[in-house]
């Protein structure tokens, strides 16, 4: 399959947003340990926090004000981050790789995401980003989205684009091994993997 552009999601693809957020509000989890997130909790981080926090229960209005600019700016990279950047650049060229990330309604989220791009990504990515919730607006037959949310992947495909869902505990691929799945899916677009070191293969859920 031929593609000319690759769009990379940030949160829980290039970084470990969800687990870091849970740790940030006081849950007893590691910022990179997806095995602590039960797939039964679904796409609901507040629900997850209420299961994982040792003493506290949150409402939406109590949880989100704790997620500030400092949080968005300091999320750890995912173990797949560098590999995805290298493979994407190898397939379409650095100039055709773009961050495509949604944001909350809080302006601090947008500012913090820009901080993260500047702090965590290589210089060639510093001006290659689009921040907004309507990812399917970027869909075309020769564009590829790599994202962890079923909705984003489904709507991107429905709009005429190609997409790869990254296995995470809250999506339909939660039983798949993340790196093995990505290797198999991206192999459809390139044969360059022999030149790029693989991160250690880990299951999404133990």
pLDDT digits (tens, 9 = 90+) for 35-66: 999 999 988 999 999 999 999 999 999 999 99
User: Is the predicted pLDDT of residue 160 greater than 50, yes or no?
Assistant: yes
The Cα–Cα gap between 20 and 12 comes to 10
Closest listed residue to residue 147, CA positions, set 172, 119, 113: 172
Under 8 Å between Cβ of 169 and 39: yes
The pLDDT of residue 204 is above 50: no
Q: What percent of the chain has pLDDT over 70?
A: 92
Structural domains of the chain, with CATH: 5-15+77-195 (3.40.50.1000), 17-73 (no CATH)
Residue 142 structure tokens: 């020769």
Write down the H helix ranges in the chain.
Answer: 17-24, 45-52, 60-63, 69-73, 81-92, 107-120, 150-158, 178-186
The pLDDT tens digits for 97-127 are 999 999 898 999 999 999 999 999 999 999 9
Give the pTM: 0.92
Give 153: exposed, middle or buried? Use CB within 10 Å, 0-12, 13-18, 19+: buried
CA 126 to chain CA centroid, nearest Å: 17
């Amino acid at each position: 399959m031929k593609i000319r552009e690759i769009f990379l999601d940030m949160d829980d693809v290039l970084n470990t947003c969800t687990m870091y957020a849970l740790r940030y509000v006081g849950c007893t989890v590691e910022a990179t340990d997806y095995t602590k997130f039960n797939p039964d909790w679904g796409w609901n981080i507040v629900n997850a926090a209420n299961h994982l926090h040792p003493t506290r229960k949150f409402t939406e209005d109590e949880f989100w004000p704790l997620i500030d600019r400092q949080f968005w700016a300091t999320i750890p990279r995912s173990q797949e981050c560098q590999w995805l950047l290298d493979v994407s650049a190898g397939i379409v060229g650095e100039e055709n790789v773009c961050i495509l990330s949604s944001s909350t309604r809080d302006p601090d989220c947008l500012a913090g995401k820009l901080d993260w791009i500047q702090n965590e990504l290589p210089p060639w990515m510093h001006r290659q980003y689009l921040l907004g919730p309507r990812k399917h607006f970027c869909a075309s037959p020769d564009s590829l989205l790599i994202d962890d949310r079923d909705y984003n992947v489904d709507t991107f495909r429905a709009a005429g684009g190609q997409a790869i869902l990254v296995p995470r505990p809250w999506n339909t691929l939660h039983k798949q091994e993340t790196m093995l799945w990505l290797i198999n899916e991206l192999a459809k677009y390139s044969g360059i993997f022999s030149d790029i070191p693989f991160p250690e293969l880990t299951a999404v859920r133990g």
